[in-house]
């Protein structure tokens, strides 16, 4: 009798575990398909074009430009190695960018399942491809997706240290990795180190504090080469890298940043649902430790935000913009997943709450995917590239009249052989001289006349978030 009951419970346990793992696997596959569906295009905005053009250079040029950049070396160097193997194309680079998002869905979800059970892991996996900004930055040819991965995995092992007192090595290595990916990914992981220290001091866990000190030393040693490079990069940084001024309105905007869907009621609903779950966990934290570790993960996100504003205030120079919070989003939404799980588990009849959560996730995911798809597959880039291919020849050059160099930087990607020149050097051009104007600079056509050129209008072109008018310049009298 006892044996039969034991075997029945054993079979049910295996069945439940297999079912949970299968659901998590299917969810991760579905999320991966969504990310991959967004990479078959050549729509690049200015930062992507800058990075892609840098990676396209020779190995020596990539290393030189990376050292002169203000960002850590991982993305450029790894991207160059990848294109050397598979060839240079936007598809390869966008796949390189979405790969860490896929890794996080699979491995981050699996880690959470072992820590907190199926429901927390399932919610987090869903968050990683439904919540705002993930699909957008997850395929962008930049380092943000890798920052999301390193911060997300560091947060998972941070949670493991709190709940199981293990995972120190993995936590340390992922935080080191974050430093080689993006400075604010490192800041976000630094907040996890800071919070972990406070918790260990509060608990007077001296054994864990010894491990903390040892792993912190390992972190410093492993990050030291990148830290030395960063010091030289910051010395060479110019005012070009200044961000928009920060003020109280921008702070409020950045506080709302994780929840912005461009549909105000939905954004408000996301914010309120996350806040409600966090408040429940704050209440639980005063009674038991059931608020662990979700609240601390949410705190890490906002500590990163306040750090950016604090440094900007102290330095007297804005060094922060909202997109620097993207790596920390994986920490925030992991915290919300923990909090949602606690809220659901503390609700007697939780069917309504589960349905409510499912509707929020599904609707938000649909909205965010639609927006990302429209951005990635915006029409215009094919027409522009076809015209460039047929009409731009060796020896041609262009003049770009803009207050900001977005189109010029993008041209270096779309037309790497096209020389950028200025009015005074126009007579030295052996091929055709072209003029690119955006909406704000069309009144500068009179400059062409002053320099003795007739500007023949060709067409308006657009790609990604940019549009411009193209003119062929001809000397008067020709």
Given a contact cutoff of 8 angstroms between Cβ atoms, the answer to whether 400 and 411 are in contact is: yes
Question: To the nearest whole number, what is the mean pLDDT of the chain?
Answer: 90
Q: What angle do CA 279, 178, 158 make, to 5 degrees?
A: 40
One domain, residues 332 and 407: no
211 plus 339 within the same structural domain: yes
Same-domain check for residues 332 and 432: no
H helix runs in 346-468, sequence order = 351-376, 381-391, 406-414, 445-450
* Residue 232 and residue 176 in one domain: yes
pLDDT for residue 3: 44
- What residues contact residue 1 under an 8 Å CB cut-off, 6+ apart? none
Q: Are residues 362 and 416 in the same domain?
A: no
What would the pLDDT profile of 37-87 be if each residue is shown by its tens digit?
999 999 999 999 999 999 999 999 999 999 888 899 999 999 999 999 999
Asked whether residue 263 falls in the same domain as residue 116, the answer is: yes
Rounded-to-10 torsion of CA 295, 253, 328, 367: 100
Domain coverage including residue 33: 2-376
Written as six digits, the tokens of 359 are 């509707």
Question: CB 100: neighbour CB atoms within 10 A?
Answer: 22
Q: What span, in angstroms and rounded, lies between the C-alpha atoms of 34 and 127?
A: 13
Would you say 370 and 38 are in contact if contact means Cβ atoms under 8 Å apart? no
- Helix 351-376 to helix 118-130 angle (10° resolution) is 30
pLDDT at 100: 98
- 438 and 305, same structural domain? no
In the three-class reduction of DSSP (H, G, I as helix; E, B as strand; rest coil), residue 145 is classed as helix
Cα distance between residue 239 and residue 231, in whole Å: 16
Select from 376, 409, 444 the last residue of a domain. 376
- Domain closes at, from 376, 402, 419: 376
For residues 371 and 399, membership in a common domain is answered with no
Q: What is the mean pLDDT of residues 318-325?
A: 92
User: Residue 352 — very low, low, confident or very high, per pLDDT cuts 50/70/90?
Assistant: confident
Condensed to tens digits (0 to 9), the pLDDT of residues 454-470 reads 999 999 999 988 999 99
- Please indicate, yes or no, whether residues 293 and 369 belong to a single structural domain of this protein: yes
| pLDDT: which is higher, 280 or 258 | 258
Q: What is the DSSP letter of 106?
A: I
Phi-psi label, residue 333: left if phi above 0, alpha if psi -120 to 50, beta otherwise: alpha
Residues 223 and 183 in one domain: yes
Domains in the chain, number: 2
Mean pLDDT over 412-439 rounds to: 89
Q: What is the CATH number of the domain that holds 398?
A: 3.40.190
In tens, the pLDDT along 237-262 reads 554 455 788 999 999 999 999 999 99
93 and 149 in a common domain: yes
Q: Strand 433-437's sheet: what is its strand order?
A: 419-420, 397-401, 433-437, 466-475, 453-463
In angstroms, the Cα distances linking 322 to 196, 273, 329, 462, 478 are 25, 22, 11, 26, 51
Asked whether residue 401 falls in the same domain as residue 283, the answer is no
Domain final residue, candidates 376, 391, 408:
376
What is the reported pLDDT for 465?
A: 85
CA atoms of 313 and 62, how far apart (whole Å): 33
């Amino acid at each position: 009798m006892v044996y039969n009951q034991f075997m029945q419970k054993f079979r049910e346990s295996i069945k439940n575990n297999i079912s949970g793992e299968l659901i998590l696997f299917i969810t991760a596959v579905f999320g991966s398909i969504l990310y991959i569906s967004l990479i078959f295009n050549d729509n690049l905005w200015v930062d992507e074009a800058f990075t892609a053009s840098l990676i396209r250079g020779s190995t020596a040029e990539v290393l030189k430009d990376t050292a002169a950049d203000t960002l850590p070396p991982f993305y450029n160097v790894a991207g160059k190695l990848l294109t050397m193997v598979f060839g240079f194309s936007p598809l390869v680079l966008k796949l390189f960018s979405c790969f860490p998002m896929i890794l996080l869905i699979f491995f981050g979800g699996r880690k959470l399942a072992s820590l907190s059970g199926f429901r927390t892991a399932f919610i987090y996996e869903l968050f990683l491809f439904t919540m705002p900004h993930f699909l957008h930055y997850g395929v962008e040819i930049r380092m943000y997706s890798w920052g999301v991965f390193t911060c997300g995995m560091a947060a998972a092992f941070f949670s493991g240290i709190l709940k199981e007192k293990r995972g120190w090595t993995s936590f340390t290595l992922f935080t080191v990795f974050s430093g080689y990916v993006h400075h604010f990914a490192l800041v976000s992981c630094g907040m996890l180190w800071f919070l972990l220290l406070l918790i260990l001091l509060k608990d007077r866990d001296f054994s864990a504090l010894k491990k903390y000190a040892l792993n912190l030393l390992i972190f410093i040693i492993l990050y030291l080469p990148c830290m030395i490079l960063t010091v030289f990069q910051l010395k060479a940084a110019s005012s070009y890298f200044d961000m928009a001024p920060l003020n109280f309105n921008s702070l409020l905007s950045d506080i709302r940043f994780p929840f912005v869907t461009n549909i105000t009621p939905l954004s408000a609903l996301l914010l309120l649902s996350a806040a409600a779950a966090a408040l429940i966990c704050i209440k639980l934290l005063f009674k038991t430790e059931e608020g662990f570790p979700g609240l601390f993960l949410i705190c890490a996100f906002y500590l990163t935000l306040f750090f950016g504003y604090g440094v900007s205030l102290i330095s007297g120079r804005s060094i922060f913009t909202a997109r620097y919070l993207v790596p920390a989003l994986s920490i925030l939404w992991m915290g919300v997943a923990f909090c949602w799980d606690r809220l659901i588990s503390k609700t007697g009849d939780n069917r309504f709450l589960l349905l409510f959560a499912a509707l929020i996730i599904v609707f938000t995911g649909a909205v965010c995917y639609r927006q990302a798809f429209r951005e990635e597959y915006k029409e215009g880039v094919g027409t522009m590239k076809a015209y460039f291919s047929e009409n731009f020849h060796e020896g041609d050059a262009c003049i770009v009249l803009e207050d900001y160099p977005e189109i010029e930087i993008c041209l270096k990607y779309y037309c790497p052989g096209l020389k950028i020149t200025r009015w005074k050097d126009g007579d030295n051009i052996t091929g055709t001289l072209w003029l690119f104007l955006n909406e704000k600079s069309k009144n500068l056509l009179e400059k062409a006349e002053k320099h003795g050129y007739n500007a023949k209008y060709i067409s308006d072109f657009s790609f990604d978030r940019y549009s411009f008018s193209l003119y062929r310049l001809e000397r008067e009298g020709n």
